[in-house]
Amino acid sequence: MSRTLSTTPTQDGFRMPAEWGNHAGTWMIWPERPDNWRNGAKPAQIAFTQVATAIAAYEPVTMCVSPAQYLNARHALPVSVRLVEMTSNDSWIRDCGPSFVTNPNHEVRGVDWRFNAWGGLQEGLYSPWDQDDLVGEKVLEMERALRYAPPIVLEGGSIEVDGEGTLMVTMQCLLNKNRNPDLSKEAIEAALRDYLGVTKIIWLDQGVFNDETDGHEDNLARFVAPGRVVLTWTDDHEDPQYEISQDAFLRLSKAVDAHGRALEIIKIHQPGPLFMKGEEAAGVDIIDGTEPRTAGLRLAASYVNFYMCNGALIVPELDPGFDAHAASALKLACPNHDIVMVPAREILLGGGNIHCITQQQPMGFEA
Ligand code: KQY
């Protein structure tokens, strides 16, 4: 713990940069638990390999992998992907990894939030989660980065910054009693300001319908440039997502960012709706305490769960009926980025998507 600071990033002049800032690289964790990933995680391992390979064309990728899976992962992944041995409970490094912060002197530090598997013993998605909770600290050790350890439970997928002082979050997740039951909204806002260096917080209400993270922001709405937001959408009034996206649109329409700018909101029509098939549910091992998988489960599918790396958006390919539309809408939203679509249904079946399985490490300056 010698590298853990007792100050906050804001006190020290650090803030979380936007995802479109220059990255030193991307961190991922190799999937293997058979009670989350069907068929012994084999199909998920192919999907994670495709994501890592796509990102590696643009920036360095490090894959954390358990000792048992080291050789398997080494054979599957291209040599350009660095492998490091690391124990974890699952593979959602967006949520259990550190949120990196930078300062004007190009220094990079990490915020290592407390992690409780999206809700702790009563409502969380698995137990134990102790090894996931160590991932942030281990990554920062490896990078010799100083560590902040905020006294709150938070996942990286529940926050979205523009790097210029603005943060978007959902009330469904951040104010959920299964995260920080003793903290008021004001206390949570204070922690967000202290540890992310933001001055303006935009509160949306609900996340994507049936998202088992309790409504992570990164599945609902994302910044793609200062003052520009992409929002998952449906035109189907009968779909339970309709009211949620409509409400988010109204809140974003009324909001201004930390610089007083109104937001340009670009709607990205959702895939599907998509549901878990019988054979997919049947491939997941049943272990007490893990979120059950059942045929017909509505999947929290969204194209905005993409990852922005140096020069490209790595976008989930989920539905032939909407993929091309999502790709062209995202190209309009991010004209300077390549749009690279990667098959992502297997990641979705595990409960998240490409953004949830990646974590950017900023360079600390614009290249
Ligand atoms: O960030 C995420 N979407 C993580 C989802 C965890 C799902 C565990 N089954």
- State pLDDT tens for residues 169-204: 999 999 999 999 999 999 999 999 999 999 999 999
Could you confirm whether 334 is annotated as catalytic?
Answer: no
CA-wise closest residue to 157 among 122, 117, 199: 117
Measure 139 CA to ligand 1 centroid, in angstroms.
20
- Which of 64, 96, 309, 356 is catalytic? The answer is 356
Give the pairing type, strands 81-85 and 4-5: unpaired
pLDDT of 274 over the 90 cut: yes
Residue nearest to atom 4 of ligand 1 (CA): 352
Q: Give the per-residue pLDDT at 289.
A: 65
Residues 199-251: pLDDT tens digits? 999 999 999 999 999 999 999 999 999 999 999 999 999 999 999 999 999 99
Structure tokens at 263: 């937001």
Q: Is the pLDDT of residue 56 over 70?
A: yes
The yes-or-no verdict on residue 367 having pLDDT over 50 is no
Rounded to 5 degrees, what are φ and ψ at 295? -60, 140
Distance (Å, whole) CA 29 – CA 21: 22
Q: How many angstroms does the Cα of residue 132 sit away from the middle of ligand 1?
A: 12
| Residues within a 6 A CB radius of ligand 1 | 36, 92, 94-95, 125, 157, 212-213, 216, 291, 350-352, 356
Q: What is the mean pLDDT of the chain?
A: 96
pTM (predicted TM-score): 0.97
pLDDT at 366 over 80: no
Residue 365 scores a pLDDT above 70: no
Structure confidence at residue 46 as a pLDDT band (50, 70, 90): very high
Residue nearest to atom 1 of ligand 1 (CA): 356
Nearest residue (CA) to ligand 1, atom 2: 352
* Percentage of the chain lying above the pLDDT 70 cut: 98
Residue type, 79: V
Residue 28 phi, psi dihedral angles, 5° rounding: -140, 165
Pairing of strands 81-85, 61-65: parallel
Query: What's the CA-to-centroid distance between 104 and ligand 1, angstroms?
Result: 33
Q: What is the mean pLDDT of residues 8-30?
A: 98
Cβ(330)–Cβ(313) below 8 Å: yes
Q: Which helix (H) or strand (E) holds 319?
A: none
Buried b (16+ CB within 10 A) or exposed e, 19-32: bbbebbbbbbbbbb
Name the pLDDT band for 133 (thresholds 50, 70, 90): very high
pLDDT tens, 310-337?
Answer: 999 999 999 999 999 999 999 999 999 9
The string of DSSP letters for 66-128 reads -GGGHHHHHHHS-TTEEEEE---SSS-HHHHSPEEEE-TT--EEEE--B--TTTHHHH-SSS-
Ligand 1 centroid to 254 CA: how many Å? 30
Q: Determine the residue type at 198.
A: V
